[in-house]
Amino acid sequence: MTDDDGATNRLDGTSRDEQGFATTIPRTTKGRSHVVTSAVETEKGYDDRYSSQGALGAGGMGEVRLVRDAIIGRDVALKVLDTALQAQPDAVRRFIREAQIQGQLEHPAIVPVHDLGFTPEGCAYFTMKRVRGRTLESIHEGLRNGDPETVRGYSRRKLLTAFSSICLAIELAHSRGVLHRDLKPSNVMLGDFGEVYVLDWGIARLAESEASSVAAPTERVSAAAPGIVPTMAGTMVGTPGYMAPEQVKGDISALDSRTDVYALGAVLFEILTQRPLHEGRSVVDLLSSTLSGADAKASARAPGADVPPELEAICERATMTNPEDRFTSARELSDAVERFLDGDRDLEVRRHLAAQHARTAEQLAEEALSETGSVEARKRALAEAGQALGLDPTHEPAKRTVVRLLTTPPDKPPPEVVGELDRTTLQTQRLSSHAGAIAFSIWVVFSLPLGLWMGIKSPWMFGCFLALQVIATLACIGAGRSKVIAGPASIASTTAVLAGNAALNLAFGPVVVLPTVIAASMATVLLHPRLAYRATVVFATSAIVAVPCVLELVGVFPAAYAFEDGRMIMTPRMLFFPRDPTLFVMAFSSLATFVMLAIAVSRVRLMLTDAERAVQLQAWQLRQLVP
């Protein structure tokens, strides 16, 4: 015999089902349904007892009004079945059963029912405690909008405590064989004094005795506020976005306590992120998202919400597509939340999450270190490994991944590294330019008095010499201020330096003094990181020495040296060579060249020392991470 038959057989009396619920069904007299009234109601009619104080709200089955109970002397909420449904026996039975189920579930979080009957017009109604407070849906809206009063009054801990109470209320219902099937933020109310209520048991189902008899014969969507998806009653019963996948499929035989656990997980996700678990522009989008599987990873969906990993794991487990993978009961879900609230951070959960991040990091590391590896994959691998170590600092695979990534540099330097190298190169270029400017300025300052002391043989040669030294000094100053590596200023500076060095040929010839000065110049130029630049300068500098020698041998240039009786004699061309001034000038030039070279190389050495120190410190830190 079907449930419909069973319900029909109980039309004339009261019996109890296997869960212990009274299932009194109204008698039918002359086409009008009614219930046996209490003695008090018989003495005082409906109109005398209840006076309307206004509407409180509306749902899929009817309207909720605020009425004054004249007998008790208190305000109560009266829910009356929608007029359009009064002629549908299934709807009437369902409405009455809602009142009976809600009235027999005695729990602080379930609104008690006071009375059940029919109005003089034949409309089914029941009265219940009038509850005051805000729905969880309203609280979410206030939190999303940054309402100061809501933010101040509803902390995450307060909402989680209320959520745990909701779970226990649903656990009581499950223990009595009742599934709510429509858990959502708008069906949860929080009072001003810590009260928590689970509302609207209109589509609740008795686990064993429910069948098609209590379902509305057609799918129906009630009117609701804009943007709120209404409860759908029919073969597919529930609210899209909160229904479990088995509800969406309409598989009534598959529904059990884990169906409500799924909805509770969706409610918890919204508490943590202030975003719905399933998002979409239409009911079809929501149902499709439910069937394809929920992305309940709060850290990815709402990174700014700072959701602890323990709560994220609870959400993920509660909203698994397969019921077998969810919490087995609402109590188990409540216990998991309570452990978090009590500060009992589940180490196993942290280790499980750490292992997940470590596996992801290892996969990304393989991708990053491959021939086609990308910098982005390396960044993500390090981030995942860092999250794994944040959850479990002792996780060895994550440590190995970090060390592997840090000790294996990428084949192609990332843009950040290239930028840092360019900054260092520019610093070195400026250092070399400053050293050259100082050296040539010294030549400019002392050349004239020294030339006069030695005696100027060729004024035009001496003038060219001074002019080239001044040009070289100015070019080095310009290169020192340049912000471009090997740019026009740097090239002009190098050219002027080479010309300035070549001018020494006019005074002392291509050997003796010139090679010493060139060696000092080369020491700083060769620090430049670009090979083509270094090769060009080396070639040009070599030509400064080699070309004058060749030109002297073939007779194009006048000889700078004479060779007599095994002696090499310098032939004056630009300056005369009296003994004392000549010795002083040669000694001074050699000493100045040496000092400037020592200063430039010492500054470079300091830079290298700092870099080596940083590398060694990083290596030491890695050894502390993984001994």
DSSP designation for 225: -
Q: How far apart are the first and last CA of the chain?
A: 73
Scan for tokens 């590596």, then name that residue: 485
Cα separation values, 125 from 8, 90, 95, 266, Å:
21, 15, 8, 31
Cα–Cα distance list, 368 to 376, 377, 390, 415 (Å): 8, 5, 22, 16
Please tell me the distance from the alpha carbon of residue 201 to that of residue 197, in angstroms, as a whole number: 11
Q: Which residue's entry shows tokens 């409309």?
A: 123
Q: Quote the CA–CA distance of 253 and 448 in Å, as a whole number.
A: 108
CB 329 within 8 A of CB 172: no
| Beta partners for residue 32, in sequence order | 29
In contact, 172 and 251? CB cutoff 8 Å = no
φ, ψ of residue 123 to 5 degrees: the values are -90, 130
Burial category of 90 from C-beta neighbours within 10 Å (exposed 0-12, middle 13-18, buried 19 and up): middle
Which of 236, 208, 177, 178 lies closest to 6, judged by CA?
208
Catalytic residue, chosen from 48, 82, 147, 182, is: 182
Told to judge if 182 belongs to the known catalytic residues of this protein, a careful annotator would answer: yes
How buried is 203 (Cβ within 10 angstroms: 0-12 exposed, 13-18 middle, 19+ buried)? buried
Q: Helix 396-407 to helix 375-391 angle, to the nearest 10 degrees?
A: 150
| Tokens matching residue 69 | 């109970």
- The residues annotated as belonging to the active site are 182
